[in-house]
């Protein structure tokens, strides 16, 4: 068969260019590997010496997600120029925009170039839910500290894909379940396995269920506010409303931060003062009048009419599209403490 040519995709961080300040890096390619690619190549060559990463394609996370069609076309052309037998993206761990980029470009390569593809990311990366049923996604730990473990899992599957070997069940070949079931024969009958699992569970030992159930996060609602006429009410939004110019550079998708901004001097939000940073819906109408997403004007009317006691002087905002659940939970835990400390009785939470 000869050399098995692989192309690897990384973002600005793993290319060694920089962090968030270089997230607008336009796509470029480089022959050979970059540091994490070299580790992946070494792990693959330990299984099959003919595997070689012949080129690496780099693109900034913000540039890719904010210029999707342009970026996809450019990156695809660069990959195609190497005539690869396999394409690998990442691993992206829990970096949301990177995960979405990895999922997007692997899907594009698979559909357009017709070659096998592979990526890796943390289970709560938004890219995982978006693409695990379309391409092979290896589950990783949530940060680059788990790179060694990720590479150990990705390399054998990568070699299998590159050589056309049969891909076995997800529990065997270490990829996220993709909705495809494979039949195989167990060595023990079902009743015996069930009893063994029950004994482990009762003993507090680790066991793996054969039929995992979805894990829903249930939150009990607070009691109703009895006296709204004297309540302090705050506004919180995942619609990305920010002061004009987006001073804290909240990402248009896969947000890594939230904003805290004063509305003490505002009775109305206008196109001169506010806009949306959100990249998941048409921003035109929100940019014209951000009250459509963050209803400061109506809340001021309620305040003046005595229907609420006071509108809290700060609002909290982020972008919800593609944002990792862990990030969203962390945001809420942090600013909720501020709201409680400020004596806020109720929150109006708006989306898009």
Q: Does residue 191 lie in a domain region?
A: no
Tell whether the model's pLDDT for residue 60 goes beyond 70.
Answer: yes
Q: Please give the pLDDT value at position 281.
A: 84
3-state secondary structure of 137: strand
The dihedrals phi and psi of 42, each to the nearest 5 degrees, come to -60, -40
Residue 193 lies in a domain: no
Residues 233 and 159 in one domain: no
The reply to whether 291 and 163 lie within a common domain is: no
Last residue in a domain, options 158, 173, 188: 173
pLDDT at residue 214 in the model: 67
Q: Which of 151-160, 167-176, 184-193, 212-221 has the lowest mean pLDDT?
A: 212-221
| pLDDT at 20 (0 to 100) | 82
d(CA 133, CA 117): 13
Residue 134: CB atoms within 10 Å:
15
Q: Highest-confidence range of 48-52, 94-98, 129-133, 297-301, by mean pLDDT?
A: 297-301
DSSP string, 163-185: HTPPP--HHHHT----S------
Do 53 and 165 lie in one domain? The reply is yes
Q: Are residues 22 and 160 in the same domain?
A: yes
Higher pLDDT, 326 or 102: 102
Judgement on whether residues 15 and 140 belong to the same structural domain of the protein: yes
pLDDT of residue 290 exceeding 60: yes
Q: Is the pLDDT of residue 102 over 80?
A: yes
296 pLDDT higher than 90: yes
**Residue 279 near residue 309 (C-beta atoms within 8 A):** no
CATH number for the domain including 8?
3.40.50.2300
Please report whether residue 192 resides in a domain.
no
Task: Give the chain's end-to-end CA distance (angstroms, integer).
Answer: 52
* Distance in angstroms (rounded) separating the CA atoms of residues 320 and 240: 8
Question: What SS3 state is found at 65?
Answer: helix
Q: What does the mean pLDDT of the chain come to?
A: 91
Residue 99: give the domain boundaries. Answer: 4-173
Is 241 among the domain residues? Answer: yes
**Residue 124 to residue 142: CA distance in whole angstroms:** 8
Phi/psi at 250 (nearest 5 deg)? -65, 130
Q: 236 with 341, same domain? A: yes
Give the pLDDT confidence score for residue 337 in this predicted structure.
95
142 CB-near residues (< 8 Å, 6+ apart): 93, 94, 122, 124, 326
**31/141 same-domain check:** yes
Alpha helices in the chain (DSSP H): 35-45, 61-66, 68-80, 96-112, 126-131, 147-163, 170-173, 190-202, 284-288, 296-305, 325-341
| Whether this model's pTM surpasses 0.75 | no
Q: What is the pLDDT of residues 14-33, one digit of tens each?
A: 999 988 888 899 999 999 99
In a domain, 216, yes or no: no
Residue 237 covered by a domain: yes
Does 156 share its domain with 262?
A: no
- Calculate mean pLDDT across residues 114-133: 91
- State how far the Cα of 89 lies from the Cα of 128, in Å rounded to an integer: 13
Domain annotation covers residue 88: yes
pLDDT at 279: 83
Cβ atoms within 10 Å of 67's Cβ, excluding its own: 17
Instruction: Quickly state the pLDDT bin for 98 (edges 50, 70, 90).
Output: very high
Which H or E run contains 6? strand 4-10
Task: Say yes or no: 257 and 326 in one domain.
Answer: yes
What does the block give as tokens for 162?
């590159």
d(Cα 341, Cα 329) in Å, to the nearest integer?
A: 18
Are the CB atoms for 232 and 340 separated by under 8 Å? no
Are 261 and 121 found together in one domain?
Answer: no
- Distance, in Å, from the CA atom of 257 to the CA atom of 240, rounded to the nearest integer, reads 11
Q: Over the stretch 213-269, which tens digit does the pLDDT of each residue have?
A: 766 677 788 889 999 999 999 999 999 999 999 999 998 877 889 999 999 999 999
Q: Is 203 a member of any domain?
A: no
With vertex at residue 241, the alpha carbon angle to CA 232 and CA 218, rounded to the nearest 5 degrees, is 65
Q: What are the b/e assignments for 8-43, b being 16+ CB within 10 Å? A: bbbbbbbbebeeeebbebebebeeebbebbebbbeb
- Count of domains observed in the chain: 2
- Are 8 and 157 within one domain? yes
Residue 81 · residue 34 · CB < 8 Å = no
Which band of pLDDT confidence, cut at 50, 70 and 90, is reported for residue 1?
low
**Residues 176-197: tens digit of each pLDDT:** 988 777 777 788 998 999 999 9
Q: Which of 173, 198, 216 is the last residue of a domain?
A: 173
Tell me: pLDDT of 119 over 90. yes
Within this chain, do residues 232 and 108 fall inside the same structural domain, yes or no?
no
Q: CB–CB of 121/140 below 8 Å?
A: yes
Q: How confident is the model at residue 117 (pLDDT cuts 50, 70, 90)?
A: very high
């Amino acid at each position: 068969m000869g050399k098995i040519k692989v192309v690897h995709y990384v973002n600005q961080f793993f290319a060694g260019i920089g962090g968030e300040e270089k997230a607008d890096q336009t796509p470029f390619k480089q022959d050979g590997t970059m540091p994490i690619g070299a580790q992946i190549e070494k792990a693959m060559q330990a299984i099959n010496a003919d595997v070689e990463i012949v080129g690496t394609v780099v693109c900034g996370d913000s540039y890719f997600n904010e210029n999707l069609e342009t970026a996809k076309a450019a990156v695809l052309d660069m990959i195609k120029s190497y005539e690869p037998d396999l394409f690998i993206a990442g691993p992206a761990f829990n970096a949301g925009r990177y995960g979405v980029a990895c999922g997007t470009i692997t899907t594009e390569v698979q559909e357009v170039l017709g070659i096998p593809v592979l990526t890796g990311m943390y289970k709560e990366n938004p890219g995982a839910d978006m693409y695990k049923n379309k391409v092979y996604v290896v589950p990783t730990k949530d940060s680059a500290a788990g790179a060694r473990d990720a590479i150990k899992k990705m390399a054998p599957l990568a070699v299998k894909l590159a050589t056309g070997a049969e891909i076995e069940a997800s529990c065997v070949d270490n990829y996220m379940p993709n909705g495809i079931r494979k039949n195989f024969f167990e060595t023990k009958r079902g009743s015996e396995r069930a009893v063994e699992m029950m004994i482990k569970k009762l003993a507090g030992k680790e066991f793996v269920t054969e039929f995992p159930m979805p894990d829903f996060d249930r939150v009990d609602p607070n009691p109703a506010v009895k006296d709204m006429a004297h309540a302090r009410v705050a506004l919180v939004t995942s619609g990305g409303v920010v002061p004009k110019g987006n001073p804290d550079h909240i990402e248009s998708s896969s947000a890594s931060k939230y904003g805290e901004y004063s509305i003490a001097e505002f009775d109305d939000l206008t196109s001169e003062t506010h806009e949306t940073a959100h990249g998941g819906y048409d921003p035109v109408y929100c940019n014209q009048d951000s009250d459509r997403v963050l209803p400061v004007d109506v809340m001021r009317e309620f305040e003046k009419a005595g229907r609420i006691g006071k509108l809290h002087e700060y609002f909290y905002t982020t972008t919800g599209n593609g944002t990792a659940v862990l990030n969203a939970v962390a945001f809420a835990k942090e600013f909720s403490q501020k709201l409680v400390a400020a004596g806020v009785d109720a929150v109006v939470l708006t989306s898009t």
